Amino acid sequence: MTKYAVANVADIGPGERRIVEIEGRAVGVFNVEGEYYALLDRCPHAGAALCSFGTVFGVSESEAPDMPVTYERNRSIRCPWHAWEYDIRTGESFFDPRNARVRKYNVEVVPGSPEDTVDPDGGVQKGPYVMEGYAVSIDGDMVVVDTSRRRPARGPRAEATSRS
């Protein structure tokens, strides 16, 4: 299990995002109303830099035509190339949820500073904020991205693999 300290909470304000590099991959970390989410910065449809250049917008929902409509700000991201839309919280596509999903990383906010949480035996590791040259405060809370969890494989290739 490897976790990366990528920023302090104060570095990603509500409605903001930060692109970080983790294990050679660009990852977008989003602050949606105080909750943090991380997605791979690559649209699964055609490979555009989804998090870097995608438009963040809200979603309106209703359970039925005669039911109240709810609106959630900053919940979705639209790909800059072909306007495919994804739920920032889950990585699911609104167009094709069964076949298109952006890789989602688990995010947690832990108290302390990066120096307090770095574990030389494989726990929380210093993140790419050092490589990108961002100033990091040693006080307050920080955002940690966990890359150890992998989503289960889906689709025909996963079914073929499970049968063998």
Q: Top-level CATH class of 14-104? A: mainly beta
Q: Which residues contact 117 (CB under 8 A, 6 or more apart)?
A: 5, 110, 123, 124, 142, 144
**What's the pTM value of the predicted model, to 2 decimals?**
0.70
pLDDT (tens digit per residue) in 110-163: 876 655 555 555 555 555 443 333 333 334 677 777 766 455 555 555 555 555
pLDDT (tens digit per residue) in 63-92: 999 999 999 889 999 999 999 999 999 999
pLDDT for the residue 132? 31
pLDDT for the residue 42? 95
Q: Which residue has the higher pLDDT, 117 or 16?
A: 16
Q: Which residue has the higher pLDDT, 94 or 115?
A: 94
Query: Beta-carbon neighbour count of residue 8 at 10 Å?
Result: 21
